[in-house]
């Protein structure tokens, strides 16, 4: 009897929907819990393994939630090129909802007129090049403050610092300044008021204790406006300390182009291709949101011959796509040179093998900000400080395990010793 119920359940799940064609293939699922035991502690990794077996477009059942997992650049291209609008909904978990239902913030809003209004405000008032240019000094101040604190730490001797903490406070201040700056918001204006309300909602949302009411395992899918930046910076530093050749090369670039007498400035970024390649390589191997933010099908659609039912959740495994050996040479190697070749890929959502900010309508609106902050913050620290591992730890002994958190952070916080760099780097070293 039980067997019968179970077979009915799985068959019902796998082979419907008769009216609209077949669901993408996937592993057999259990009654009630579906494939939940196949999720594991590292869902991006377990889903990548399942995709090897079931293919780059795959159905999983998380409880009763139909989830379509996309694990190749080919399928991602089809999603964003041909089905962007219909798959632009958001799968919302209970705790993501604010007091205004799920319409509170840009991240959680469904794809509708409310989202369009927020998106327009965001892109025209917030992340537009002229505004970003005008806020350059604010960013420089925040970075300067971080450098000052690092300088104090360096001065106090050879104590290792928790690198992620410095980045976190810098990023928090920076985004706080961006959102709450008087220049940005004019409280007399109705538009300013509305913007302020929604900006606060984004911040509030980021601080919510959590999302995990439905399935605790999905907790880490909850994105946070500062955590993405912190995660990227911490991984970049960790990979550099783990790969001394790359560290030396990027420092050489910074010190030869900028010289020892001044700090790095934002305008230097365009002349630092290797630094930019280091950031890209970090985002390829360690995308802070390994599944983007869950999308939802607002209607059923046909994708590469399979039926995607209305209201299914869509997870794009950018972590797996960034490590796909069919696309990347030696994918597990931290090798920024791959991004130095002519006509190299960028993260603007056009090259589907590399989409750490997503693509299409729901793509991260803060990408233009991140593409300034990440190289400036990392470059400043590498230009002005040398970095040592504590306790005689050798680069090859570092623990590079990914941890499960809100974003894909390092499991073990990176500890390193900053040593103030003085004088020009000996280029013959």
Annotated binding site for heme: 364
Q: Report d(CA 74, CA 52) in Å as an integer.
A: 15
Span interacting with ligand HEM, options 142-150, 245-253, 267-275, 290-298, rule CB under 6 A:
290-298
Binding mask 366-405 for ligand HEM (x = CB under 6 A): x--xx-----------------------------------
Q: Report d(CA 120, CA 131) in Å as an integer.
A: 14
Interacting residue with ligand HEM among 364, 378, 382, 408 (CB under 6 A): 364
Q: What is the CA radius of gyration of the chain?
A: 23
Task: Output 38 or 317, the one with its CB closest to ligand HEM.
Answer: 317
59 strand-pairing partners: 68
Task: Output 106 or 135, the one with its CB closest to ligand HEM.
Answer: 106
- CB atoms under 10 Å from CB of 131, counted, come to 17
Which residues, 220 to 239, sit near ligand HEM by CB under 6 A?
223, 225, 228-229, 232
**Residue 276: which residues within 8 A CB-CB, separation 6 or more?**
269, 339, 375
Which residues, 68 to 127, sit near ligand HEM by CB under 6 A?
106-107
Provide the token pair at 170. Answer: 């810098």
65 strand-pairing partners: 62
Name the residue with tokens 């994708």: 303
- Please state the closest distance from residue 362 (CB atom) to ligand HEM, in A: 4
Interacting residue with ligand HEM among 44, 255, 280, 362 (CB under 6 A): 362
User: Of 366, 312, 405, whose CA–CA distance to 90 is shortest?
Assistant: 312
The count of C-alpha atoms lying within 13 angstroms of the C-alpha of 422, restricted to the half-sphere facing its C-beta, is 4
Q: Is 289 an interacting residue with respect to ligand HEM (CB under 6 A)?
A: yes
- Please state the closest distance from residue 393 (CB atom) to ligand HEM, in A: 27
Span interacting with ligand HEM, options 33-41, 358-366, 394-402, 418-426, rule CB under 6 A:
358-366
Would you give the DSSP letter of residue 348? S
- Please state the closest distance from residue 132 (CB atom) to ligand HEM, in A: 11
Inter-residue contact 389 to 398 (CB < 8 Å): yes
- Please state the closest distance from residue 366 (CB atom) to ligand HEM, in A: 3
Using alpha carbons, list the distances in angstroms from residue 367 to 58, 345, 347.
Answer: 29, 15, 9
Interacting residue with ligand HEM among 143, 154, 237, 292 (CB under 6 A): 292
Which parts of this chain interact with ligand HEM (CB under 6 A)?
A: 106-107, 175, 202, 223, 225, 228-229, 232, 288-289, 292-293, 295, 356-358, 362-366, 369-370
């Amino acid at each position: 009897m039980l067997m019968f119920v179970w077979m009915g359940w799985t068959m019902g799940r796998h082979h419907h929907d008769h009216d609209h064609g077949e669901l993408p293939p996937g592993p057999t699922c259990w009654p009630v819990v579906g494939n939940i035991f196949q999720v594991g502690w590292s869902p991006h990794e377990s889903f990548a393994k399942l995709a090897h077996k079931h293919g780059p477009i795959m159905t999983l059942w998380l409880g009763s939630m139909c989830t379509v997992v996309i694990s190749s650049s080919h399928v991602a291209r089809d999603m964003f090129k041909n089905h962007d609008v219909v798959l632009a909904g958001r799968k919302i978990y209970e705790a993501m909802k604010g007091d205004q239902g799920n319409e509170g913030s840009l991240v959680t809003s469904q794809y509708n007129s409310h989202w369009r209004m927020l998106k327009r405000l965001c892109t025209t008032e917030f992340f537009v090049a002229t505004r970003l240019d005008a806020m350059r000094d604010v960013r420089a101040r925040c970075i300067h403050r971080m450098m000052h604190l690092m300088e104090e730490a360096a001065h106090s001797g050879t104590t290792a610092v928790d690198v992620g903490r410095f980045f976190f406070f810098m990023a928090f201040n920076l985004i706080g300044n961006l959102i709450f700056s008087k220049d940005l918001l004019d409280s007399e204006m109705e538009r300013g008021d509305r913007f302020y309300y929604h900006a606060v909602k984004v911040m509030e949302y980021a601080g919510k204790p959590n999302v995990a009411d439905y399935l605790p395992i999905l907790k880490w899918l909850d994105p946070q406006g500062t955590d993405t930046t912190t995660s990227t910076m911490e991984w970049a530093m960790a990979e550099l300390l783990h790969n001394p050749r790359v560290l030396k090369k990027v420092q050489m670039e910074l010190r030869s182009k900028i010289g020892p007498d001044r700090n790095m400035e934002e305008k230097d970024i365009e002349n630092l291709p290797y630094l930019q390649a280091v950031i890209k390589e970090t985002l390829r191997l360690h995308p802070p949101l390994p599944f983007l933010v869950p999308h939802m099908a607002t209607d059923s659609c046909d994708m590469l011959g399979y039926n995607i039912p209305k209201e299914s959740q869509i997870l794009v495994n950018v972590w797996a796509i960034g490590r796909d050996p069919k696309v990347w040479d030696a994918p597990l190697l931290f090798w920024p040179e791959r991004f130095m070749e002519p006509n190299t890929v960028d993260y603007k959502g056009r090259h589907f093998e590399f989409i750490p900010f997503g693509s299409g309508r729901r793509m991260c609106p803060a990408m233009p900000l991140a593409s300034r902050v990440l190289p400036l913050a990392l470059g400043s620290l590498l230009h002005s400080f040398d970095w040592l591992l504590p306790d005689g730890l050798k680069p090859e002994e570092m623990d590079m395990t990914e941890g499960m958190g809100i974003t894909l952070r390092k499991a073990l916080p990176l500890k390193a010793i900053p040593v103030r760099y003085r004088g020009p780097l000996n280029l013959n070293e």
